């Protein structure tokens, strides 16, 4: 079963503000250069969707009401939804802030079947959280997600194994989760538009063109997916820790961009240390005003968990980039290849001192909020624009 909250951020804002209900609204980051992260259903007929620059959305719908997003609200609401889902099964995989997969096989008897269970989940979320969601029930995750998407908004759709071939017959391949516009275009070039057409392409032809993805595509076209629902607590350790920052204005000069990188590095380092991680690979992401995104990385010999060291690596990568003349609108720093940091103190006394001062800084930051005490470089920066975690945005 796949549960997907409808227009999640926008619906949370409409729930909390009676004057926004029934109106076209767009939730976005602060500043006019930011991007729509969620559009209410009333905004969608104007062609407004997530990922669109706010300025463009305003042109499409001058009556659009902009609401600055508030991640605390969404995280809390998401936690409430997840808690309700866990009432019907412990097997809940949190796919993103507004989407979960549930393995309800073991709960069907107790709740009187799949549809009764799905209706109960929808009713509970409506009563307790005050929001609408769409629910898809199917033999596997891929088809459940397809079903919830087809039933939007506020829908419930059950696809049985017998019905799948009929549903897939005319379904465009791009409706399947995992087949994006690029892959879709590549398939169109092969004369493949629908799932049925894809399923008739020999596996050999698909693997010749797409490598191992080819076999997977063949299975997807037939509605086959064997990936299990992995309850979120049991997920393997984090693979990377990263932060991005959408800039209020497009930047052209390297110096202010370096300062943003520094702050992102500090934030990533803090989160690494909180999880007792350190990582060897530092990736810098640069997104230009036209949304073209570049990332470059460097891998170091020893794992890092300190902001200054991560910044040093990020700056070397950044300085090696030839920036395009277009302005930069988003920067990101990610540390990956994580290992669990050992608690033992470094042997060199100078390093030991530096580590002690870093720990003291974390303690003060914990007490007074992020970015209250940090290195002098940051003082030049406006502290109101906080990094937005990637988990903020609805995932594709």
Partner 1 sequence: MVEVIEEPVRVAAVFNGRHTEIRWLQWRGRDYRIRQVTDHWRAREGRALFHYFAVTDGAMLFELRFHAEQLAWELTRTYCEG
Q: Give the footprint of partner 1 on this chain (CB under 8 A).
A: 12, 15-19, 68, 70, 72-73, 76-77, 365-370, 372
Catalytic residue among 13, 68, 79, 99: 99
Cβ contact 313:256 at 8 Å: no
Angle at the Cα of 203 (from 201 to 209), degrees rounded to 5?
85
Q: Using the rule CB under 5 A, is 101 a contact of Mg ion?
A: no
Binding at 16: pick from partner 1, Mg ion, none (beta carbon under 5-8 Å per type): partner 1
In the complex, least distance from residue 97 CB atom to Mg ion, rounded to whole angstroms:
9
Query: Catalytic: 99?
Result: yes
Binding at 73: pick from partner 1, Mg ion, none (beta carbon under 5-8 Å per type): partner 1
Is the Cβ of residue 19 or residue 350 nearer to partner 1 in the bound state?
A: 19
In the complex, least distance from residue 86 CB atom to partner 1, rounded to whole angstroms:
18
What is the Cα–Cα distance from 202 to 182, expressed in whole angstroms? Answer: 21
Which tokens in the block code for residue 164?
């799948």
Is the Cβ of residue 54 or residue 102 nearer to partner 1 in the bound state?
A: 54
Cβ contact 300:306 at 8 Å: no
Is the Cβ of residue 4 or residue 267 nearer to Mg ion in the bound state?
A: 4
CB-facing half-sphere around the CA of 165: CA atoms within 13 A: 3
Cβ contact 395:95 at 8 Å: yes
In the complex, least distance from residue 79 CB atom to partner 1, rounded to whole angstroms:
10
Which tokens in the block code for residue 235?
């997920």
In the complex, least distance from residue 18 CB atom to Mg ion, rounded to whole angstroms:
23
Q: Using the rule CB under 5 A, is 93 a contact of Mg ion?
A: no
Torsion of CA 22, 24, 27, 29, to 10 degrees: -150
Binding at 18: pick from Mg ion, partner 1, none (beta carbon under 5-8 Å per type): partner 1
DSSP, residue by residue, 138-162: -SSHHHHHHHHHHH-SS-EEE--TT
Binding at 153: pick from Mg ion, partner 1, none (beta carbon under 5-8 Å per type): none
How deeply is 189 buried, as exposed, middle or buried, from its count of CB atoms within 10 A (0-12, 13-18, 19+)?
exposed
Among 13, 93, 98, 267, binds Mg ion (CB under 5 A): 98
Binding at 109: pick from Mg ion, partner 1, none (beta carbon under 5-8 Å per type): none
Cβ contact 304:285 at 8 Å: no
Is the Cβ of residue 73 or residue 296 nearer to partner 1 in the bound state?
A: 73
What number of chain residues touch Mg ion (CB under 5 A)? 3
In the complex, least distance from residue 69 CB atom to Mg ion, rounded to whole angstroms:
14
CB-facing half-sphere around the CA of 113: CA atoms within 13 A: 4
Is the Cβ of residue 111 or residue 392 nearer to Mg ion in the bound state?
A: 392
Q: Using the rule CB under 5 A, is 4 a contact of Mg ion?
A: yes
The residues assigned a catalytic role are 99
């Amino acid at each position: 079963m796949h549960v997907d909250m409808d227009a999640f951020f926008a619906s949370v804002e409409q729930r909390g503000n009676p004057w926004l209900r029934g109106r076209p609204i767009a939730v976005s980051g602060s500043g006019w250069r930011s991007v729509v992260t969620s559009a209410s259903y009333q905004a969608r007929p104007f062609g407004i969707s997530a990922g669109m620059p706010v300025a463009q959305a305003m042109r499409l719908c001058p009556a659009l009401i902009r609401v600055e997003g508030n991640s605390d609200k969404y995280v809390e609401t998401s936690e409430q939804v997840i808690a309700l889902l866990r009432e019907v099964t412990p097997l809940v995989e949190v796919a993103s802030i507004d989407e979960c997969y549930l393995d309800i096989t073991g709960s069907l008897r107790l709740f009187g079947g799949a549809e009764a269970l799905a209706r109960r989940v929808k009713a509970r979320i409506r009563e307790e959280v005050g929001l609408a969601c769409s629910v898809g029930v199917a033999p596997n995750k891929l088809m459940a997600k397809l079903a919830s998407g087809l039933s939007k908004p506020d829908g419930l759709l059950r696809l049985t194994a017998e019905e799948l071939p009929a549903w897939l017959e005319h379904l465009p391949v791009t409706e399947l989760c995992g087949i994006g516009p690029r892959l879709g275009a590549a398939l169109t070039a092969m004369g493949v538009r629908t799932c049925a057409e894809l399923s008739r392409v020999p596996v050999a032809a698909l693997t010749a063109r797409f490598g191992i993805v080819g076999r997977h595509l063949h299975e997807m076209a037939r509605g086959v997916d064997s990936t299990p629902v992995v309850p979120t607590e049991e997920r393997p350790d984090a693979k990377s820790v990263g932060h991005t920052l959408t800039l209020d204005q497009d930047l052209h000069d390297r110096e202010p961009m370096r300062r943003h990188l520094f702050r992102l590095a500090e934030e990533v380092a803090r989160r690494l240390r909180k999880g007792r991680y350190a990582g060897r690979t530092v990736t810098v992401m640069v997104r230009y005003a036209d949304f073209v995104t570049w990332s470059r990385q460097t891998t170091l010999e020893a794992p890092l968990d300190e902001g200054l060291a991560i910044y040093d690596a990020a700056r070397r990568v950044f300085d090696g980039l030839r920036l395009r003349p277009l302005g930069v609108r988003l920067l990101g720093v990610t540390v990956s290849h994580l290992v669990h940091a050992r608690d033992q103190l470094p042997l060199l006394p100078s390093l030991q001192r530096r580590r002690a001062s870093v720990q003291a800084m974390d303690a003060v930051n914990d007490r007074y909020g992020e970015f209250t005490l940090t290195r002098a470089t940051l003082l030049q920066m406006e502290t109101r624009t906080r990094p937005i975690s990637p988990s903020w945005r609805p995932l594709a």
